Amino acid sequence: MSYVRPSALWMLLLCATGCAPVDGVMTQAAPDKPISEKRLMVWEDLLSRPKPMPDATVAYGADALQLVDIWQPKGSGPHPAVVMIHGGCWQTNIAERDIMNWIADDLRSHGVGVWNIEYRGVDRGGGYPGTYLDVGAAADMFAAKRADYGFRTDAPVVVIGHSAGGHLALWLARRFGLAKDDALRGAKPLKVDLAISQGGLPDLRAQTDLPDHGCGNESASAMAGLSAEASAKAGGEFARTSPPEMPKGRARELQFNNDLDSIAPPSFGTAYGAEMVTTPGEGHAELIAPETISWGKQRAAIMKAFGL
């Protein structure tokens, strides 16, 4: 795994809409709002900790990034499990799946397994259609192989994704409604019951047009199948890749947003229109840190979905 430390790209992303020093540390601030007295997390706060490790890693394809980390709770199973998708602006050089290890370990300690997907980013042969084919293949492998790893086959299917992974989680939830001969749909697409977006970027078309956004416009354009010269108003595969333009599926869609998140502010969730839970005083990194209020709410929603 290679992630960019907070002093580089992630720090730039966090500061896309404004940062200020608090106790000598650069801290994210919401636009036109004073900095909270409680310092927001920066990525070093999470990534510098001892990192828990998965129980197994399996391949779903030949590429070095076509992998899934499997987190198996202790004790007699079978256990319920979630499908997890990391973010990083759809770019492998920004983040890979192990940025999710801390919440994956937290779920494992609460009796919930995790199927944590890696995929090719736009900078590693992904984008449209590669990233979608990867995420779809890994999710469908969960449906076919979960029993082999001690996971329940009768449990609701819960998919959770952070930031750009939130877009992909919502995409998975609506993927079943694509045309049956669509390669992005696949022959036997995973049927999702609950899709959780953690500070997600659900509207791909909007992401191609937003000025000065932390992720920039190029990655979103690549995810929509737009050429570098094209605009969102001239083509693209939005009807197959952007959740608000896809048929709504059977899944309940639940968004968790934090009010001091400058990468994915609550306005993104409001515009998307699905059910949303907003936590005050927290930012983008807190969504995937196990001790935070926002993660506690997410864990509670997952446990409730599984009847735990």
Residue 258 lies in a domain: yes
Give the pLDDT of residue 78.
96
Q: How many domains does the chain have?
A: 1
* Residue 30 is assigned to a structural domain of this protein: no
Q: Is residue 13 part of a domain?
A: no
Domain that holds residue 94: 43-305
- Strands (DSSP E) contained in the chain are 19-22, 25-28, 56-59, 67-71, 81-85, 113-117, 158-162, 194-198, 252-258, 275-279
Predicted pLDDT at 231: 52
What confidence score (pLDDT) does residue 232 get?
A: 52
Question: Is 28 contained in some domain?
Answer: no
CB 165 within 8 A of CB 131: no
Torsion angle of alpha carbons 112, 132, 43, 254, nearest 10°? -50
Q: What number of other Cβ atoms are within 10 A of residue 93's Cβ?
A: 16
Ranges of the chain whose pLDDT falls below 70: 1-38, 211-213, 228-234
Q: What is the pTM of this model?
A: 0.87
The DSSP code sequence of 245-278 is GSPP-SSEEEEEEETT-SSS-HHHHHHH-SEEEE
What pLDDT, on the 0 to 100 scale, is given for residue 217?
85
DSSP designation for 79 = B
Instruction: Report the phi/psi class of residue 244: left, alpha or beta, with left for phi > 0 and alpha for psi in -120 to 50.
Output: alpha
19 within domain boundaries: no
